[in-house]
Structure 1
């Protein structure tokens, strides 16, 4: 019977951000596929230490709590990410990781340029228009071809609603991370 990889128990760093999950084995030498939660998975590719937690539901895990997974290599392949970790040397070991949630410390994220933001920093920000009218709170971001779209949650007459605004300079005037607010050129009835 194949043995699952031996993983070192660890504490989740206080600045850890969930960046993806392991979906399946890739090949026979211990590589595995990763589903990144961002269209630009640079933080996932740059980090050499991933912290894993079992899937919240669905896939059965052979470990509990948080474990450290030292990464040998991670790279893009076609439309996915593939990775190879220390202690994972065959297909059975890679399959044992299926469903695991991947976290990396925020401190290992590459620096962003001017007018660039990590999606995780935008989630939860309030969005107002130029007149100061609240439009909602960023609940999610969607890659929609050449641009990203902000998905806002708000309430109207006691019912949860959703509003989408393209995250492009034509509509986004200012992102104030410190003030937890995004100002946009958008009206509530759009």
Structure 2
């Protein structure tokens, strides 16, 4: 499963990046969203939202409603009623607390849950920790970083990713440490 994250710091819970406000839709204060949930309209299930603008300012919002409308996901914010206010929010990222999402199905993972786990080869060679993951057209890619380098490992189970052990905090991979 996809999703970027923000680490837990202080009292802040881990977060999942769900999407971004991409502009205004119509003249009544509706917003077009880029939603990275599947289906796109599932973004509305995971509230409250934490909105973070380009300057890093954050605010929490509840009660956002919306729907899919053709190629767009359209949202109505409870405190926004005009197009100019939505245009000012363009580029704002939409996060939700990790706890707002349901547990993943067997064999599926939220990327945020993998970040920070140690990565070792099947023979025990450490490759660093999971920095992040990203999607490609063919498969997802796990990025393991240590002090010296970054390795990109296709997240293909069980060919390259042999196991994920949350209790032990480790991802075991079948990967050449020199690659």
Relative to the length of structure 2, the TM-score reads 0.77
Q: Is the 8 A contact 1:45 1:75 kept in 2?
A: no
What CA deviation, in whole Å up to 9, does each residue of 1:114-158 have, x standing for no partner? 1101011111111100011011211121111131011121233xx
Confirm or deny that 1:151 pairs with 2:139.
no
Rg bigger for which structure?
Answer: 1
TM-align CA RMSD: 2.7
Distance 1:146 1:110 in 2: 26
Distance 1:68 1:98 in 2: 16
User: Are 2:49 and 2:96, in contact at CA under 8 Å, matched by a contact in 1?
Assistant: yes
- Which stretches of structure 1, 4 residues or more, deviate above 6 A after TM superposition? none
Q: How many residues align?
A: 166
| 2:64 alignment partner in structure 1 | 71
Q: After alignment, is 113-122 or 24-33 more displaced?
A: 24-33
1:86 corresponds, among 78, 82, 91, to 78
Unmatched 5+ stretches in structure 1: 1-12, 58-63
Q: Deviations over 1:60-84 (max 9, x none)?
A: xxxx552324211154853x64422
Q: Distance in 2 between matches of 1:154 and 1:16?
A: 22
Residue matched to 1:23: 22
Residues 1:139 and 2:125 are matched in the alignment: no
- Pairwise CA distance, 1:23: 3.1
Query: 5+ unaligned residues in a row in structure 2: which ranges?
Result: 1-10
